[in-house]
Structure formats: C-alpha cells, structure tokens
Structure 1
Amino acid sequence: MCGILFSISDTRPENSPLWNSLEALNTKRGPDAQQTHVITIQDQQAQLYLRFFSSVLHLRGDHVVPQPMTPATGDVLSWNGEIFGGLEITLGENDTEVLVRRLAGISPTDTSEKAVLDILTQIEGPFAFVFWQAHTNRLWFGRDCLGRRSLLWARSKSLTNKSFMLSSVGPSSASSDSGSDNVVWEEVPADGLYCIQMEDIETETTDESVFGHPIRHFSWVQQENSGPNTLPLPFPLINRYVPKDLSVDTREGEPVVDGEMETAIEEFTLVLSESVRRRVADVPSLGPIEACARVAILFSGGLDCITLAALAHQHLPHCEPIDLLNVAFENPRREQALQKPKKKIAPERIWNFVEINVPYPEAMSHKQRIIELMYPLDTVMDLSIAMAFWFASRGEGTIDDNGNTKPYHSRSRVLLSGLGADEQLGGYSRHKDAFRRGGWDKVIEETQMDVDRISTRNLGRDDRIMSDHGKEVRFPFLSTDVVNWLCRCPIYIKMDLRYERGIGEKLLLRNVARRLGLSEASKNWKRAIQFGAKTAKMTDSSRSEKGQHKLS
C-alpha cells in the first residue's frame, strides 16, 4: 500500500496548505517511507514542474523500497498496487522494483504507447499509479480495471490558474481550495488508463487537456470489441448458457450435487484458494510470528468471510494467529462464530476474535474525519458503510482470554474482505427479484450488470477509509483470475434462485464451504454491513433520509 500525490504546475512548486494536507493524509497510508521528487520540462508554452510525492507501507519483499522510484533512465514511478500475477516475482522480491525495471527496460528507440500498455495489462492485482516516461515525454496514470485502489484527480477550469493534481486521498475541509478556481476533485474513472503527451499542444485549454496537453484515454473493453486505444479486459462476458430443462418453478429441499457441480466445486475451490494464497503469502511480520497476526479478516460471521478464513488457514503457518475483526455499534450482539470454526476446522490455531464495540459518542467524535476520507462520495449510505470499515480496520477492541475480556489492538497490516462474492454469485435480494420477474435471462442480465459496474462502485472509497490506519485491504473474490473463472461458469452452477433464501443464492460457494467443513456457515445469508454492524443507526441522519440522499 502506498500514498500517491502528484501535481503539474507552471510555477515553482512551493508548499501550500492544500499540498501539505494531502501529503500528511497520504503519509498515513504509508508510514514506512516518504519522499518527494521534482522534474522540470520545457514545452512550447512554458516551463512546467512535475512534482511527485509517495509514501510506502511495506508489505512485499525483505526491505522497504522508498518511492517514487527514479531509475537512471530518468523515469519516475509512484506505484500503489500489488502484483499477484502476470509478471514474474519471486518470493521475497519487491513488486515495485520488478515493475520499474520492466518499464525502465523499454528501449529508448521504442516510442509506442503499446510498450507501456503491454506491461501494465499483464498485471493481475489491484493498482493505481503515476508513471513519467522520460524518453517519450509521456505521463501515464490510472487504476486497475476493477477500481480496487483509490486515485482522485483535480482539474482547474480557470485559464488564469491552470492546475492538475492526482492524489490517493482527497483534501480535508480545512485545507481544501476546491471551491475556488473551479477546481473539482473526482475519482479517476477505472474505465481505462490515461496518458498525457507533453509534446502535443492543443489550441485551447479544455477539460480533456492539461496546460494545453491532451489527455488520452485507453479504454478497457471486452476482447471481441478491441480496437484502437482499447485494452483487453482479463475476463469475458458471463456465460449465458442455461439447459432447457431448468424450469422456473419453486423447489424445496436442497439441490443435488451432480457430476457437473462436483467439478465446479473442485475447480472453484482451487482458484479461490490460490487467490487467497497469493494475498497472504510473504507479508512481513511486525513481531514474533507466534504472537503477532500478519493477516486479519473483516469478519461478520457470514458465508464469504468464514470461507476466506478457512482458506487463509490452509496457507499460513499454524503457529501464527489470525485476527477476525468484528465491528458492532451500540447494543452489540455477541457473535459466537469464532468457537465454531476453531472447534470444527482449526483447533490448532489461535483465532483472535476481536469484538470492536463502538459507543455512540466515539462514533460521532470521528464522524467528520470519516466524511472527509470518503470524499468525494457523500451520501448517507456511504457514511454508514465507511464508519463500519473505518472502525473495523482500526482494529481496536477486546478479545476473550480464557474467559476474561482484555483489550486488544490488531497490528495486522493486511485485511481480507469478502467483497465481490455477492455481486458474482447472486447474493443480493435483487437477484432473487430479477429471477421472479424474468427467470434465468433476467438474473443473467442482473449479474452481468453487477460485474460491469464493480469498477464504478465504492472500492476507491473503501481503500481511502481503511488505509487511513496504515492497512491494506485485499479482495480474493475480485482477483481477475477468480472473476474470469466465475464469468465462464454457467449461471445455474453459481446460483439456483428457484430455491429459498439460504440455499439457492451463492449456491456454489455454499457447496465449497461445506467441503471445507463449514456446514453451519453454508446456511448463512446476506446482511449488509451497515445493518449487521448497526451503523445505519449511527450516522445521525433523520428517519426520512434514505441511503442515496446527500449528507446534510
């Protein structure tokens, strides 16, 4: 995890309240190393200053690698991401060092955009980045195709004070000048990668240019729709095949596990397990391995997170603990989920079930901080979810110690989240509603829509919220390898919404959970985090306000 801050200006970059505030916020994302690098370029109109600041949270390799990285080629890389596949990285190697070597290794005679894009599109993993390629005078930036890392941009429409900034997190209200000079902060769309060719000049400044230099956009598209200025998505449209004998009547009992389902269970378990393995391997320890959990799971007691816990158990040494972070606001309901997996699947491991019970006054004392971190998102629903994630990722709560309750602060820097399972496996009530309205065809359309809009949902917000504590959230269900496999899997294998709640939705994952020994968890159904954690009652909103309403 890293914090990225970047600006282009036509005056010598000096410290400003806005820059200093953003630098401090990005430092919280990466407390292990910070540095600034400035380069100067001369274009046809003026001398421009490119200012890079990066902070680093050390999570890969055997040493801290400060950023931005500045190889001898004159290139500059600020990288906030994880390379879990696509480029070869050995155990103990730092992925940022590998990436900068690949980018700096592009021949100085190769001035095509394709050379950079070929490297970036190979990467399996979440990322946001800013990259200056010196020999082509190009500035590259963007986010991965699922939008798993935050990156905001601010562009001024004022002709007297042109500006351009990129940041992992937005400005606080105390330092923001976003109301002046028509500066607007927005999330960089995760619909492609962007390039500013600093040698090209347009005749007038527009929203699609920076100091007259056009911003080029390379769009993520399905392979069959590829063309100029497009990038291939690493997964196809979802499989629309449904056998003709699958009627739309309501079924009782539980579906029979036939040979086709047996194969799917085995294959999906392997691909999801590999996704978890890549996300828990090689995480540095902050203390003795037997005492300090390196990995924590955002733990509601539901199907998705319990399955991730069982798979993480397979890939981490049994001598080290795993933290299960469970947040509740006001009148918390004690969960007994810890005792079930400990007795049935992993009695040899220490599971720290961290009860994070947040009193109303404490929630209100951090409310404004959370609102500023989730910016530019600003709805009642955003705040409900953001509050749950902020307190959960902080990791301050209590654990049971042989029948005694004692304070506990999780130091785990890597958090696993089950986000992405409901979207792809029919976990929401609207999937059931779609099936009632139009059968298999309608639920296929609903699921395709969910996959299509993952990149425009709220992963950037979640990244900004949880990284405020120097933590990195990882999403095994959103590995592009997992998404690719699930898109190819027939819909009736992933879900069978002819069956009642707790059986038909997320059918495939329920079967995987049973094979992992999680028979009780396999019967759980979806409850949104803002209701399970009770933050829906903690945002100080009136009863008339709905989730989509703007915060007052």
Structure 2
Amino acid sequence: MCGILFGIQKQDAKSCQVYEKTWSTLQELNARRGPSAQDIHKITIAGNEPRGAETDNSQLEFYGAVLHLRGDTVTRQPHVSKSGNVLIWNGEIFDGIFVDHHQNDGRVLMDQLEAISDQGEKEHTKAFLDIMAKIEGPYAFVYFHASSSKIYFGRDCLGRRSLLWHRTIKEGTEGEIASLPFILTSVGYSTFRSDLLALEEVPADGIYSLRLGSEGEKLIARYPWVSSISDQSNTTECEYSMKLPFGRVNDHIPTEDELSDLFPEDIKFDQAHPEIVPPVTDDMKKAISGMIAVLGDSVRRRVQDIPRTGLPHDARVGILFSGGLDCLCLAAMADRFLPEGEAIDLLNVGFENPRSVKAKAAEEALALKRQKRLGLAAANSSTGSQTSRAQDSKYNVPDRITGYESLAELKRIAPRRHWNFVEVNVPFEEATAQRSEILERIAPLETVMDLSIAMAFWFASRGIGYIKNEQNEMIPYTSQAKVLLSGLGADEQLGGYSRHKEQFKVASWGGLIHELQLDLDRISTRNLGRDDRIISDHGKEARYPFLGANVVQFLSSLRVDLKVDLRYPRGVGEKILLRHVARELGFTRASSHWKRAVQFGARTAKMTDSGRSEIGQQVVDRGE
C-alpha cells in the first residue's frame, strides 16, 4: 500500500502559491497511507523535452509514500531509472508477473517497463498495455515515459485502489485537453477547504495517458478495458485496448430440467432450523468444490509473505469481521494458510447510537410494565438481571451479537488458532468528533450513506478496542495487523442485496442476471475507491479475496441458479453457493445468516433524529 501524488504546474508566481499550499496538504494526507518511507522526485520540462535545469515552463512532481508489505526491506519510491523514466506504484502483484517473496513488486514492475522503454512510441504503448493487462491484483499508478514525454496513469479494472484527479479540460481537435495545474492523488479533501481542488475519481474503465505539450495544455487519451477479443478489435475510441481478465456474467436462463429437483414444496425453511438446507445437485457439488478452490487460492495469495514488522506475537492479518457469511469464510480460509501459532485479529465495530439506545430503553420500559401487569416481575432473578444488563450494553449492536456467534463456530473448527476478537467500541462523542475528518477522507463521495459506511470502516480499521484475556477479562488492545481482509464483492456477485430480490420478482432470472452484471460493472464507482481511502488512512491495506480475478471469472462463468436462487426465502436463497461452502467448511449456524448492511449492523446509520431521509443526499453539515 502506498500513497501516490503527482502534479504538473506552470512555474509562475501567481499560480504557484495556491498550488503549493494544496500540494503540501495532499502530501501530508498521502504520508498517512505510507508511513514506512516517503520520497519526492521533480522534473522541469520546457516545451516537449524534460530538462534538469530551471526554466519558466512546467514542473512535474512525483511523491510516493510506502507502507512496507512486500519484500525483505523497505523500498523507497518513486522508482527512477537511468533513462529518466519514473514510476509511483500503489498495488500488489499477486499473479501475471512473477514476484519472489523477497522482492518488491514495484521494483519488479519497473524492471519490466525498462525492458521495453527504448521502443518507438506506438510499439511502446502496446507493450506497456500488454504488461499492465497481465497483472492480477489491485493497483493504481503513475508512470512517466521520458522518451515519448507521456504520463500513463490509472487503476486496475475493478478499481480496488483509489486514484483521484484534478483537471480542467476542454475539447480539442484530437480529443480532451487538460490545462494546468493537473493533479493525481490517492486521497484528497473536500472542495470547501481549497481554492484549487475539484477532485473526481479516475474511472476504472481503462488506462489513461497525458501527452506533455507546450503552452500548458496536455492531450488526454484512454486505452479501455474490453470484455472480449471481438470488442478489442472493434474498438474505435483509440488504437489500443486491454482485455479484461474475466468474462461477462453467464446469461443462461436456467431450464425447468435444471431447476426441477431444487425446490421441493414440502420443505420449510426458517432461522430456527438452519440444518434444513436445499438439496445439493451434482452441478452444485462441482460449484462448491470449485468455489472453495478459487477462493482459497485468492486468500492464500493475499496472506502469504506479509513481512513481520512488529513483535513476534502480533497478528499480521486482520479481518473486518461482522460475523456474517462472507468474512467467516475468509477467516476459515486464512486459518488454512497462516502458520498455526499465529494470531488473527477479528475487528468487530459497534457504535453508541443515541436513537437506538433511546428506542431500546423505551421498549424495555414497556415490556416491564407488561410484566408487572401480568405479575411476572418477580421472575427476574439477580442472575437474569445481570445477563440482561450485559446484553443491553450500548455497544451490543447486531454485528457484535453475530460476531460472537460466529467466533464460537470458528473456535470449534479451528481450535488451535488464536483468534483475537477485537471489540471496537465507539462512543457517540468520539464518532461526532471524527465525523468531519472521515468526511474529508471519502471525498469526493460525500453522501450520508457513504459517511455512515465509512465511519464503520474507519474505526474498525484503526483497530483500537478490547479483547478478552485467558481469565475472560476485557483488556485494552490495538491491532497491529497491516493487511485487512474484506468480504466486499461477495454480495455483488452472489446476489446478496435486496435489490437482487426485487429484480427477480419483477423480471425473473433475466432481471437478476442483468442486476448482477450491473453490480460488477459499477463496483469501482460505488465502493472500492472510498473504502481504500478510509482504511488506508491508518496505514492499513484492504485486500478483497472475492474480487481476485480467478474468483470473478469463476463466478461469472457459473449458471446463475448455482450462485443465487431467490425462489427460496431470506437466509436460504441469496448467496446460496456461499451458504453451501460455509456448511462444507463446518459452519452450521452461520450458513443461514441474513445479509445486514454495515451501517445497520454497526449502527452508524441515523445516529440522531435528524436527516432520516438523507441516505442518498450530499452531506452539507460538516460538523463544524
């Protein structure tokens, strides 16, 4: 994980003052993402030619902040070659290009780029895109190719790493032209703090280039991701494109023969009887074994070879742990691939929500009145009262309850693993105090829903909370894990949201398939950039095993009813494949857990009585 910051600015006194203030703030924010090392490299250009001497023209600034997660030693960046090429890299290469566990992947990538550096411009562009298309893993990058005076930049095809740009554009004869200043950054801040910044997320729809020209104007080009060879050859937008590492969602509509044995009318399903499961056909058995194989491989690649930077007993891997189906399967997989004596942190966050506490108190008062009216008040023994008080803790949110249930199942199937169940408890006052800062980190996404989700992830990834010691006492604990596994991507691909249910009701299997494809297409704009900016603010890196290229390809190729069968009730049909996987891994109770959005599970949604209908609206009150 790294912080990327790149800027092009004309060297005149009037524009430099505002730019330098903005640059300084962005540099501080990016340094939080990469606390291990930071460095800067500057190039002054005159016309089209990079030069080392001062001129009255433009200056390129490259700043890289490094979080050490690959290789034996900290490798500083930007990476600068003898030929003048510059790379700042924020990513992980899990496959496609071989990286030994002793090596730094940014350095390995730079070596690959140097091998093609002296080719002609067109040949170089094609060779460069071929290299980038091979990479399996999340990334954002900026690369300056000196001989062609071009800046290449972009995000991976799923947008798993954040990259924002500030640009002022106009249409030219050859396409979009950007005027200076031009800025690329991993993290930004709201426009109300700056006279300069108007940040947007760089779309994850391709890799972009910026040709350095004269008079402060730069021509922008895009090299798109395409889903098939035919799309690649028919691309008219530009000369080159890259093939996606996975296909489109299988659009086969299940036939009656394929579905005939899957829905016996005489079986009743409910949360009280999770042992009652849908029949498992031969096709489903193959899907289950295939899913366990590809998801296991994806987890393995994301937890192996993480350098140990703290004390020997510190956990290197944490899991954003609500106790739900997705994170529980990831925990079981991580247990398979980490050394037996090593701890894994399960980060479970709960918020003090005054509205929820008030509503619960009123509900309990009403229940007590009813008991007294029925003469049952004496039934509350001292033991029962103590249990009630423990259960009525203001942090006993739905995800805390589910988390402890799932922890018990984890301990049963993996008793030798040391599971640190970290209770991250967030008082209302602290949540309120951090609200403005969190809102800054999610910019330019600033809706009420973005904020409520981001608050849960920001506090969870910070990892400050409590764990139980061997005497079952709660003691303060701060997670040192730098890699955090997230289950994001499971609901989008396996039909876990209520909108999938609605589409199935309205348009049957065809509507469901359409919605699954839509979710995959827009995942970069809805979730990933925001989550990366939030989690990385603590010098942590989120990794998404459900979004590994092999996992996405496997799930996209499956027949839809093998992933999700919404003829079944809630807790059975959505993510039906993952529920079968959970049972195969030994989780009986958790296999029937319902989907609960993080803002409701951790109770960050609607923390006050105001703004009850603001979920999709911009946040205008910044808590000042």
TM normalised by structure 1 equals 0.93
The two structures, once aligned, show a CA RMSD in angstroms of 2.1
Match of 2:520 among 416, 427, 451: 451
Map 1:128-167 → 2, pairs under 5 A: 128-156=140-168, 162-167=180-185
Change (3 A) 1:535 1:123: same
Residue in 1 that maps onto 2:395: 332
Are 2:8 and 2:182, in contact at CA under 8 Å, matched by a contact in 1? yes
Are 1:148 and 1:459, in contact at CA under 8 Å, matched by a contact in 2? yes
Residue in 1 that maps onto 2:221: 216
Q: In structure 2, what residue type is equivalent to 1:50?
A: L
Q: Distance in 2 between matches of 1:505 and 1:87?
A: 36
Q: Distance in 1 between matches of 2:224 and 2:298?
A: 26
Map 1:287-298 → 2, pairs under 5 A: 287-289=310-312, 291-298=313-320
Q: Distance in 2 between matches of 1:347 and 1:174?
A: 52
**2:545 aligned with 1:473:** no
Residue in 2 that maps onto 1:77: 87
Q: Where does the alignment leave 5 or more consecutive residues of structure 1 unmatched?
A: 206-210
Q: Distance in 2 between matches of 1:459 and 1:31?
A: 22
Aligned partner of residue 605 in structure 2, secondary structure = helix
Residue in 1 that maps onto 2:2: 2
How many Å apart are 1:249 and its aligned residue?
7.8
**2:599 aligned with 1:530:** yes
How many Å apart are 1:367 and its aligned residue?
0.5
Match of 1:319 among 318, 324, 341: 341
How many Å apart are 1:107 and its aligned residue?
4.5
Aligned partner of residue 536 in structure 1, secondary structure = coil
Are 1:329 and 1:533, in contact at CA under 8 Å, matched by a contact in 2? yes
- Cα shift readout 1:192-212 (whole Å, capped 9, x = no counterpart): 11011225x6xxx9xxxxx32
Are 1:173 and 1:372, in contact at CA under 8 Å, matched by a contact in 2? no
How many Å apart are 1:338 and its aligned residue?
5.4
Q: Which range moved further: 414-423 or 41-50? A: 41-50
Are 1:28 and 1:468, in contact at CA under 8 Å, matched by a contact in 2? yes
Structure with the higher fraction of residues in helix conformation = 2
Map 1:357-396 → 2, pairs under 5 A: 357-396=425-464
Q: Distance in 1 between matches of 2:30 and 2:580?
A: 42
Match of 2:22 among 14, 18, 38: 18
Match of 2:417 among 328, 349, 364: 349
How many Å apart are 1:75 and its aligned residue?
0.6
How many Å apart are 1:259 and its aligned residue?
1.3
Q: Distance in 2 between matches of 1:156 and 1:111?
A: 26
Map 1:488-499 → 2, pairs under 5 A: 488-499=557-568
Change (3 A) 1:482 1:497: same
- Cα shift readout 1:513-541 (whole Å, capped 9, x = no counterpart): 11111111111110000000000033x57
Aligned partner of residue 519 in structure 1, secondary structure = coil
Q: Distance in 2 between matches of 1:170 and 1:363?
A: 21
What number of residue pairs does the alignment pair up?
Answer: 537
Match of 1:197 among 200, 211, 229: 211
Residue in 1 that maps onto 2:468: 400
Are 1:18 and 1:175, in contact at CA under 8 Å, matched by a contact in 2? no
Q: Distance in 2 between matches of 1:5 and 1:284?
A: 25
Structure whose alpha-carbon radius of gyration is higher: 2
Are 2:503 and 2:515, in contact at CA under 8 Å, matched by a contact in 1? yes
- Cα shift readout 1:12-34 (whole Å, capped 9, x = no counterpart): 77882211111110000000100
Q: Distance in 2 between matches of 1:99 and 1:161?
A: 30
Are 1:145 and 1:192, in contact at CA under 8 Å, matched by a contact in 2? yes
Q: Where does the alignment leave 5 or more consecutive residues of structure 2 unmatched?
A: 50-55, 171-176, 269-276, 353-393
Are 1:418 and 1:477, in contact at CA under 8 Å, matched by a contact in 2? yes
Residue in 1 that maps onto 2:287: 264
- Cα shift readout 1:39-67 (whole Å, capped 9, x = no counterpart): 12221697321110110000011010101
Match of 2:231 among 199, 214, 225: 225
Q: Distance in 1 between matches of 2:254 and 2:164?
A: 45
Match of 2:199 among 145, 166, 185: 185
- Cα shift readout 1:369-425 (whole Å, capped 9, x = no counterpart): 001001111111011001000000000000111210000000100000000000000
Are 1:29 and 1:57, in contact at CA under 8 Å, matched by a contact in 2? yes
Map 1:241-280 → 2, pairs under 5 A: 241-245=252-256, 246=259, 252-253=267-268, 254-280=277-303
Are 1:21 and 1:175, in contact at CA under 8 Å, matched by a contact in 2? no
Residue in 1 that maps onto 2:129: 117
- Cα shift readout 1:331-375 (whole Å, capped 9, x = no counterpart): 222432354134321111110000011010000110110010011
Q: In structure 2, what residue type is equivalent to 1:143?
A: R
Q: Distance in 1 between matches of 2:93 and 2:588?
A: 34
Map 1:476-487 → 2, pairs under 5 A: 476-487=545-556
